Amino acid sequence: MTDHTRFAGHAVLVTGAGRGIGAAVARRLAEEGGRVLVSDRDLPEAERTASGLRQLGLTAEALACDVADRTSVEAAVAHTVAAFGPLDVLVNCAAHCTPDVPLFEDDPDEAWARDLDITLTGVHRCCRAALPHLVASGRGAIVSIGSVNGLQDCGNHAYSAAKAGLASLTRTLAGHAAARGCRVNLVVPGTVRTSAWEGRDDDLDALRPLYPLGRVGEPEDIAAAVAFLASRDAAWITGTTLVVDGGLTAVNTGFHTAVRHP
């Protein structure tokens, strides 16, 4: 059962919240009492998410935010503080993934740089802008969204490298921020049914047997993990990577299938 009080009075900033995991996170934290700034580079998507939350009687505003731009990030943090008071929670969901070219040696510099700039450096920008406010709140928490791509080969060189980098940034920032009263953690999803998979139900069905729990993830699965790590229930957890992947990286289903006997 959802605790409707865990984030009561908390000011929350969620990046990449226009749809998918980010939108589910914004809804979960708002349902638990948070006052949420729904930020996204796509303002109409952010407004649609925020409007839907307000229709449920929840507190949410929308703002355009491009995590690749320092001024935009700082404006989003300032807007959250002005609208809702001291910032308590930052959730970094914004990311960018460029499909790989057939040959690695043909990979263009621009694609590599863009994926890292949004997926990894974008989180750095957001944490840098938010940290003084999170410290000042006295109960600050940062949760970023990683990927199993950062743990094993799932393709997408630049995106995977950026997601792997988030695990390191989480640890180093957690060490820096702990004495200042702010916790920093990472959630690592497996395959999640989002708009990125729209029209690819056959692919999702093909992936299902790889997951020991028998299904791919839903955005709400990830939102639940984020809510836990951002809440007082995780008050003694920082610098951790929580893998939420239905058992994908823990169990070698291909091996088990290969050696199974009648």
Q: Are 242 and 221 in contact (CB under 8 A)?
A: no
Q: Which amino acid is at 73?
A: V
First vs last C-alpha separation in the chain: 42
Question: Percent of the chain having pLDDT more than 70?
Answer: 98
Q: Are 195 and 22 in contact (CB under 8 A)?
A: no
Mean pLDDT for the stretch of residues 28-50: 98
- Across the chain, what does the average pLDDT equal? 96
Predicted confidence at residue 255, as pLDDT, reads: 84
Long-range contacts of 45-51 (CB under 8 A, 24+ apart): 45/18, 45/19, 46/17, 46/18, 48/18, 49/17, 49/18, 49/19, 49/23, 50/26
Q: What angle do CA 66, 72, 78 make, to 5 degrees?
A: 130
Question: Percent of the chain having pLDDT more than 90?
Answer: 91
Residue 262 — very low, low, confident or very high, per pLDDT cuts 50/70/90? Answer: low
Q: Which of 6, 159, 174, 189 is catalytic?
A: 159
Mean pLDDT for the stretch of residues 219-232: 98
Residue 261 has pLDDT above 80, yes or no: no
Mean pLDDT for the stretch of residues 120-133: 98
Residue 257 — very low, low, confident or very high, per pLDDT cuts 50/70/90? Answer: confident
User: Beta partners for 60?
Assistant: 36
Structural domain boundaries in the chain: 11-259
Mean pLDDT for the stretch of residues 12-34: 98
Spell 19-54 as b/e; 16+ CB within 10 A means b: bbbbbbbbbbbbbbbbbbbbbbbeeebbbbbbebbe
Question: CA torsion 26→201→162→175, rounded to 10°?
Answer: 40
CATH number belonging to the domain at 11-259, selected among 3.40.366.10, 3.50.50.60, 3.40.50.720, 3.30.70.3280: 3.40.50.720
Residue 172 has pLDDT above 80, yes or no: yes
User: Within 10 Å of residue 62's Cβ, how many Cβ atoms?
Assistant: 24
Mean pLDDT for the stretch of residues 125-132: 98
Instruction: Record the pTM.
Output: 0.95
Mean pLDDT for the stretch of residues 149-157: 94
**Secondary structure class of 15 (helix, strand, coil):** coil
Question: Residue 159 catalytic?
Answer: yes
Residue 38 has pLDDT above 90, yes or no: yes
In eight-state DSSP terms, residue 14 is: E
Nearest to 42 by CA among 61, 65, 20: 65
